[in-house]
Amino acid sequence: MGTDLTFSSRRSPVVCLHGCVASSQPLASSIGLDVLKCGGNAADAAVAIAAALAVTEPCSTGPGGDAFCLFYNGNTGEIRGINGSGHSPRALTLDFLEGRGYTAEKPPSVFDALNVTVPGAPACWCDTVQLLGSHKLSLQEVLSGAVELAEVGFPVAELTAHHWANWVSALRDAGKELGVELMIDGHAPKCGQVFQNTGLARTLKELGERGKPAFYQGRVAQAIVDVINQNGGVMTLGDLSSHDSEVITPISTEYKGVRLWELPPNSQGLAALLMLNILENFPQLKAKGHNSSDYIHVLVEAVRLALTDALRYLGDSSHVTIPLETLLDKGYSHQRAQLISTDRAMERVEPGLMTGSDTVYFCVIDSERNACSFVNSNYMGFGTGLVPKDCGFSLQNRGANFSLCRNHINCVAGRKRVYHTIIPALLTDSTTTSQKPRLLAALGVMGAFMQPQGHVQVLLNMMEFGMNPQQALDAPRVYVEYDHKTGQWLVNLEEGIDQKVAEELKRRGHRVNWPVSGHKRSQFGRGQIIAVGDWWNPSVTQGDRPSRVLWAGSDPRADGCAQGY
């Protein structure tokens, strides 16, 4: 596959009546759909997909990573969240790291065993099924499709094979080796090569039979601690056995008659809400034209302001006080919007220092119109690349996002949750709290600091420009990042955005990278959307809504698809 790879999907949206799933891997989507057909609900199917993706995309996700879940109850309209992110080991303090010679300027390598935080995904899977599932299927039944996939093997998909090989190379360049259980004869599997993972099959089977203790105590826990300690880390059996998910209340903001729901800190969902609040101060956004220089300029400036605030104020709320009410106040975002000039990029906006990531996002809506928006991640590819013996998965490196600056809100500490980039989202109408909010969509775009930017762009594609879910995902995207090497912001424009737009943005003072093409387009994330009815369609009158029809799209930048019945 060459660098001339294009991502024009030419797909129609998937339309169906009863239930729908959308993920980055067709085999995983099929397993999720099977769970719905067997009587499971959206939460059950989401966990089935999470486990299947752990098998098919270990270079992005797995039991060694973290997960977050947002769930809409189709009966009551209640929206609940589960924070499935793990804490740092109790012994991982700033004093300890400084004692080993590490500083803010010279932190541990991103692949270092010191960056392994407690894997929260398995507990999140168990709790999602227990608290939000149908109770018509056992956890064992929910995980059975993934177990079979791991035992029998599966042909590795094209883009997955590319990322698998890339991350193996990145680990080797850093002097690390990916565990042999995730290789074939010392190499990453090629596209179409059948990969079996008996270690992961056993881990998932035990998790289905015995629940959380099968992972956080006993054989798997010991293997995790052993491989971390053999490589200089400090995690203990106590760190693992004391872990639990946290049921949380989502946060939201209203934008032009709809309400976007995200998870609160330590997740960066707040950043997406801040962006929308700032953009609300520019009512002529649609008139500027999709991906025009005027539109992208305002979007980029909103992203810079929102990410600056997120990086300054976002951390573990059990360790620090986060001024959520103030940040989400419309008056505050109005003040922030005043800083944006329509003709000139802001001179300085100070951000923190963070790095990129690999993650999977997927969503499910069932026949009862329950919706589950779910994200699961190792952070950077295989994370640390450390594979606990006979377990079939690698351990995340999420701790690389901690700061080693003593007064930073995200400063490393024992038993602390790190600033988390992974965020699922839900969209409802903006009815008052006395009424049941109507579900409009489950949506998400994976990809580190691209995620809140992706949420906002695909939402605006639908709301402002009338795109269906597939068109909204197909459209070229913008990714704003802070380049710590130069100390400047960089605006990455995907191939398909006009050259004249790139030139005009440069004239306004932006540093622009255009066109971003081929496999480098992975930086724009991989999204999934399932919408209830065609509320985005300007030709549909209000009286024709709501609709029973589900409309779904799956990102062409991944191997996946939406499937319905």
Residues forming the active site: 359
Q: How far is CA 221 from CA 243, 292, 415, 535, in A?
A: 12, 52, 17, 47
Q: What angle do CA 61, 64, 66 make, to 5 degrees?
A: 70
Cα Rg of the chain (Å, integer): 22
Q: Which amino acid is at 459?
A: L
Q: What SS3 class is residue 324?
A: helix
- What whole-number distance in Å separates Cα of residue 363 and Cα of residue 294? 32
Token pair 């004249």 in the structure block, residue: 500
Closest by CA position to 394, among listed 60, 92, 91:
60
Closest by CA position to 444, among listed 5, 8, 68, 55:
68
DSSP string, 273-307: HHHHHHHTT-TTTGGG-TT-HHHHHHHHHHHHHHH
DSSP string, 201-256: HHHHHHHHHH-THHHHSHHHHHHHHHHHHHTT----HHHHHT---EEE--EEEEET
CB 92 within 8 A of CB 366: no
CB 417 within 8 A of CB 86: yes
Tokens linked to 260 = 């976007």
Dihedral of the CA atoms 550, 446, 458, 325 (nearest 10)? 100
Query: By 3-state DSSP, what share of the chain in percent is helix, strand and coil, each rounded to 5?
Result: 35, 20, 45
Tell me, rounded to whole angstroms, the distance of Cα 59 from its chain centroid: 14
Closest by CA position to 126, among listed 26, 43, 198, 192:
43
Closest by CA position to 373, among listed 126, 556, 132:
132
CB 374 within 8 A of CB 69: yes
DSSP string, 474-510: HS--EEEEEETTTTEEEEEEEBTB-HHHHHHHHHTT-
CB 474 within 8 A of CB 495: no
207 Cβ contact partners less than 8 Å away, ≥ 6 residues apart: 63, 122, 125, 126, 139, 143, 214, 215
- What whole-number distance in Å separates Cα of residue 486 and Cα of residue 505? 19
- What whole-number distance in Å separates Cα of residue 520 and Cα of residue 493? 11
- What whole-number distance in Å separates Cα of residue 376 and Cα of residue 121? 7
- What whole-number distance in Å separates Cα of residue 268 and Cα of residue 449? 9
